[in-house]
Structure 1
Amino acid sequence: MTSFTSLINDVRACTLCAEHLPLGPRPVFQVHESARILIAGQAPGKRVHETGIPFNDPSGDRLRAWLGISRETFYDPRQVAILPMGFCFPGTGQSGDLPPRPECALAWRAALLSYLKNLQFTLVLGQYAQAYHLPNERASLTETVRAWRKNWPDIVPLPHPSPRNNLWLKRNPWFEEELIPALRARVSEVLERHG
């Protein structure tokens, strides 16, 4: 067994924050050393926890539409790595799911990312992933996303594709008019270059 396989097995068996997880631990992520695109999300929702498949919900449908790729491509770990900031469903609060548990990123993120040497494009979804992957950004989520050209073509910040963000999308029409076409072109370029 390779050290990467061993690491993945350790992550899948993780119980670090089990006492804080209302449905218990079930790490949900997708990773392979040859992945060229990284999707850095927040944490799985309840539906994703139940199926064990990342973005297997309306958020995933919207995200795939934003990227312009099929489910088959999206769920090919040799092309797309999906590493949320927290791998387990954190529970629900008053206004939606709770934030990702902090233990997860501290324990596993750097080790997993160290094996992903073929990454060419990272999508950073939501404020927790943006705080980790864009640590020098001190702006609001909207300002960070609006400044998407700043780290282009390597990293692009995105709002979370959740239906809860429909109002944000309505208030920020530039996102779908300007960023989404560029995002689709970049994803296509990265995938076709090595397809």
Structure 2
Amino acid sequence: MSLPELLRQVRACRICVDQLPLGPRPVVQADSRARLLIVGQAPGVKVHETGIPFNDASGDRLREWLGLSRDQFYDPSRVAIVPMGFCYPGRGKSGDNPPRPECAPAWRAQLLAELPDIELTLLVGRYAQEWHLGKGMNLTERVSRWQEFGPDYIPLPHPSPRNNLWLRRNPWFEQELLPQLQQKITLIVPD
């Protein structure tokens, strides 16, 4: 199956329609030429409303971290964005619910197989990291040991404003990791 056909099927997905408070609206960005893959968690309400990945405050911060313009970030031939869950999962006690468990097993392997040129995968948040790197470390341990997962993966905290305290407690992230990440990004995502 071609990637465009697969994306049509993903966008028509209704696997967990009965569990989604706002109904299904799968949000994904992919092109077989992409060299950077961003694996997020699941869309928030604003992303659900617009259908554009990371089209919120978290996306603003993520683009700043990566040193990418909106045009670069939203060019699927440069950047693929394939979250762990494609639809807004609803609100929980302390933020959004985790990605729906049906999504990744149904679509992930097929989509990743259609992205042959990926040089770097950014794992944004706990759910993406546990799927790709396994369990056993907390987020701070994973992110602080980011060089051990290279050159293919870099774990990142979620760029949500809810993580401002984590960023203040871990200044090494912005001082050490981000400059090296931005340097890698400039080699992978052309101007």
* Bucket of the pairwise TM-score, normalised by the shorter protein: over 0.9
Distance in 2, Cα, partners of 1:83 & 1:27: 10
Deviations 1:1-31 (A, max 9, x none): x622211111000000000000000000100
Residue 64 (structure 2) pairs with residue 91 (structure 1): no
Q: How much has 1:175 moved relative to structure 2?
A: 0.3
Quote the RMSD (CA, aligned, Å).
Answer: 1.0
Aligned pairs, number: 191
* Secondary structure in structure 2 of the residue aligned to 1:175: helix
Q: Counterparts in 2 of 1:1-195, with a 5 A limit? A: 3-135=2-134, 137-192=135-190
Pairwise CA distance, 1:86: 0.1
Q: Are the aligned partners of 2:72 and 2:189 in contact in 1 as well (CA < 8 Å)?
A: no
Instruction: State the 1:152 CA deviation.
Output: 2.1
List alignment gaps of at least 5 residues for structure 2.
Answer: none
Amino acid at match of 1:186: K
Aligned residue identity for 2:173: F
* C-alpha deviation, 1:153, in angstroms: 2.4
Task: Report the secondary structure of 1:28's partner residue.
Answer: coil
Where do 5+ consecutive residues of structure 1 fail to align? none
Whole-angstrom CA distance in 2 between matches of 1:5 and 1:29: 12
After TM superposition, the score normalised by the length of structure 2 is 0.98
Report percent identity of matched pairs: 61
What is the CA–CA distance in structure 2 between the aligned matches of 1:67 and 1:191, rounded to whole Å?
Answer: 10
CA distance in 2, matches of 1:23, 1:191: 34
Deviation at 1:44, TM superposition (A): 0.2
Q: CA deviation at 1:133?
A: 1.2
Tell me the TM-score normalised to structure 1 length. Answer: 0.96
Partner AA of 2:140 in structure 1? T
- Aligned partners of 2:43 and 2:85 also within 8 Å: yes
SS at match of 1:102: coil
Tell whether the 8 Å contact from 1:153 to 1:186 is kept in structure 2 after alignment: no
